[in-house]
């Protein structure tokens, strides 16, 4: 499939600090790509370079055939991380205004705005002022404003942040619908579950560097399966079982614990369980679990996706 976006060896420096290093990846036309990493990993810097809002220090970017995102800005929709539409406008006015910035005639913008709001269950709010809407509603309106001109490429910076689970689900549906209509979608997030459900491809970023690029399935396959064991168990005893490469305490209540035992590549868990029973360990419950994208992220980067990466942290790691 042809690429709608290609990055080759892209880097970004702020003074002496390297926020993005030697980053290369592709997003195929019509696909949904998740750009994943903790706060401070370099996601926003990269998205801004793709859009041409700030120059790359090194490397090459090709978006929809252009070397500078500004040349194809009318074919791109962008939801920035900083939200806030004109508070005194109604949703229809705000959406139509953003459409007009992309060359959409006012009457067409208003017509599309009304249809989009109705589709998204916001029909009843179309005459309210933006400042009277809930945060979730306002965020939905902002997303609609970024796609009212029917862009070929949609870039969303942390679109799920600040939304409750119902609105997060609504947003997932909107993203799927955009891709079903032929748009290419690239969104950043530090919440792995959204990416897990939505993405054809994920690009994992840690400390400005790519840690992984590929399908969710391929990312998961890099992490071990694990056994969850419940009982009065010591981590040392479980760590000594055959096939176990690491043990983590998931939960603890009195003398009972839930332990997560990572299994060696190819280990099915049966031998581990058998040994646990034979050695008389107090196993009261067990389950064999497949790794999640979250597990894969930790394994691939050694970082936690919810742990922010600050410049000083990154500078320390680089020393």
Ligand X SMILES: Nc1ncnc2c1ncn2[C@@H]1O[C@H](COP(=O)(O)OP(=O)(O)OP(=O)(O)O)[C@@H](O)[C@H]1O
Which residues contact ligand X (rule: CB under 6 A)?
14, 17, 19, 37, 39-45, 81, 158, 310-311, 314
In terms of CB distance, is 48 or 149 closer to ligand X? 48
In terms of CB distance, is 102 or 201 closer to ligand X? 201
The span from the CA of 17 to the CA of 85, in Å, is 32
CB 210 within 8 A of CB 184: no
In terms of CB distance, is 41 or 202 closer to ligand X? 41
What strands, in cross-sheet order, belong to the sheet with 58-63? 17-28, 3-14, 58-63
Specify the pairing of strand 17-28 against strand 226-231.
unpaired
Q: Shortest Cβ distance from residue 270 to ligand X (Å)?
A: 41
Rounded to 5°, angle at Cα 49 from 73 and 57 = 140
In terms of CB distance, is 26 or 309 closer to ligand X? 309
Crossing angle of helices 91-101/135-147, nearest 10°? Answer: 30
CB 258 within 8 A of CB 243: no
Q: Shortest Cβ distance from residue 37 to ligand X (Å)?
A: 5
C-alpha distances out from residue 53 to 2, 67, 145, 152, 281, Å = 25, 13, 19, 18, 59
Structure tokens at 280: 């008389």
SS3 131: helix
CB 209 within 8 A of CB 23: yes
Q: Shortest Cβ distance from residue 308 to ligand X (Å)?
A: 7
In terms of CB distance, is 109 or 305 closer to ligand X? 305
CA neighbours closer than 13 Å in the CB half-sphere of residue 109: 20
In terms of CB distance, is 149 or 207 closer to ligand X? 207
Q: Shortest Cβ distance from residue 137 to ligand X (Å)?
A: 23
In terms of CB distance, is 97 or 160 closer to ligand X? 160
Q: Shortest Cβ distance from residue 155 to ligand X (Å)?
A: 12
Q: Shortest Cβ distance from residue 142 to ligand X (Å)?
A: 17
Q: Shortest Cβ distance from residue 165 to ligand X (Å)?
A: 20
In terms of CB distance, is 39 or 58 closer to ligand X? 39
- Strand locations in the chain (E): 3-14, 17-28, 32-36, 58-63, 76-79, 153-157, 184-189, 201-206, 209-214, 226-231, 244-253, 256-263, 283-289
Q: Shortest Cβ distance from residue 128 to ligand X (Å)?
A: 30
């Amino acid at each position: 499939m042809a690429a709608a976006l290609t990055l080759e060896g892209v880097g970004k420096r702020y003074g002496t600090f390297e926020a993005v290093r030697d980053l290369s990846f592709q997003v195929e036309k019509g696909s949904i790509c998740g750009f994943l990493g903790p706060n401070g990993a370099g996601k926003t810097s990269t998205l801004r370079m793709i859009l041409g809002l700030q120059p790359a220090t090194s490397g090459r970017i090709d978006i929809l055939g252009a070397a500078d995102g500004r040349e194809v800005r009318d074919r791109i929709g962008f939801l920035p991380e900083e939200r806030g539409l004109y508070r005194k406008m109604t949703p229809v006015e705000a959406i139509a205004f953003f459409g007009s910035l992309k060359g959409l005639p006012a009457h067409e913008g208003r017509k599309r705005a009304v249809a989009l709001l109705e589709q998204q269950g916001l029909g009843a709010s179309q005459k309210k002022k933006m400042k009277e809407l809930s945060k979730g509603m306002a965020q939905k309106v902002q997303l609609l404003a970024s796609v009212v001109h029917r862009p070929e490429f949609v870039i969303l910076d942390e679109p799920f942040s600040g939304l409750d689970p119902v609105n997060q689900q609504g947003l997932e549906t909107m993203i799927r619908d955009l891709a079903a209509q032929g748009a290419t979608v690239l969104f950043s997030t530090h919440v792995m579950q959204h990416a897990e459900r939505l993405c054809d491809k994920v690009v994992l970023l840690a400390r400005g560097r790519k840690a992984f690029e590929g399908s969710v399935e391929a990312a998961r396959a890099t992490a071990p399966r694990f056994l969850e064991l419940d009982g009065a168990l010591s981590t040392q005893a479980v760590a000594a079982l055959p096939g176990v490469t690491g043990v983590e305490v998931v939960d603890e209540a009195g003398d009972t614990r839930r332990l997560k035992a990572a299994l060696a590549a190819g280990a099915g868990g049966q031998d581990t369980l058998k040994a646990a029973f034979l050695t008389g360990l107090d196993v009261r419950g067990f389950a064999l679990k497949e790794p999640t994208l979250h597990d894969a992220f930790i394994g691939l980067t050694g970082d936690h996706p919810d742990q922010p990466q600050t410049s000083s942290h990154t500078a320390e790691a680089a020393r």
